[in-house]
Amino acid sequence: MKTRQEQKEQRYKDILLVSLDLFIRKGYSATKVKDIADEMNMSVGLLFHYFESKERLYIELIKMGVLGPKQVLSEIDDVNPLLFFETCAKQTLSYAKNSMFTAKMFLLMGNAIYNEGIPEEAKKIASSINFYEETMPIIVRGQQEGTIRQGDPLSLATTFWTALQGIIQMYALNENMQLPDSEWIVDIIRAKEKTLL
C-alpha cells in the first residue's frame, strides 16, 4: 500500500502526463484547468493544491523539457565530435521509444518556442536552449578532423537536429511508427569516405 506522500507524488506525475497530452492536442490557450481536472477525475480545487495555475503547470513542463538538453550541451567541450552526434541520436531515439512522455515533450517544446499564446516565462525558458548554434563549434571541430562533412556549420547542425526532432515528433503522433536507425540521422553530417575509382 502506498504512503500518502507516494500517492501525492504519483498524482503530481499523472497531472503532468495528462496536461502534456492536453497541451499537445488542444494547445495552451484552448486547454482549461477544468479539462485537466476532468481528465484526472479530480476537482479543480484539488488540482490547485498541486499547481497554483495552468501557467505554473505549463512552465513546470517546459522546465522539464530543457533539463535533458541542458545536460547534453554541458558535456560537449571535450568529446569526439562524431561520437557526440552518434550518442545523441541513439540515446534520443531510445528515450523516445521507451517513454511516450519524452516523445511528446518534443512536440511541446517545438510548439513552445513559436507559439505566441503561451506565457512569456515559458517561452523564455524554452528559448534558453539553441542546439543549432550551441553545437556549431563541435561541427567545426569534426570538420577539421575530417569526420564531419564540409559545409556551413549552422546549416549542418540545423539539419541534424531538425531531422531528429521531426522523427520523434512523428513518433509521438504515431507510436506504431518504426523509428529509423540512429546511424541514418548521423549520416546527414558524417563525412563521406572517398572511394577510389
CATH of residue 142:
1.10.357.10
Show contacts of 121-126: CB within 8 Å, 24+ apart: 121/55, 121/59, 122/55, 122/58, 122/59, 122/62, 125/59, 125/62, 125/63, 125/66, 126/62, 126/65, 126/66
Q: What is the pLDDT of residue 94?
A: 94
Specify the 3-state DSSP secondary structure of 43: coil
**What is the model's pTM?**
0.85
Q: How confident is the model at residue 43 (pLDDT cuts 50, 70, 90)?
A: very high
For residue 194, being part of any structural domain is answered with no
Average pLDDT of the chain, as a whole number: 91
For residue 34, being part of any structural domain is answered with yes
Cell numbers of 126, please?
524554452
The H-or-E segment that residue 80 falls in is none
Percentage of the chain with pLDDT > 70?
97
Across residues 109-130, what is the average pLDDT? 87
How many domains is the chain built from? 1
| Residues of the domain holding 82 | 4-186
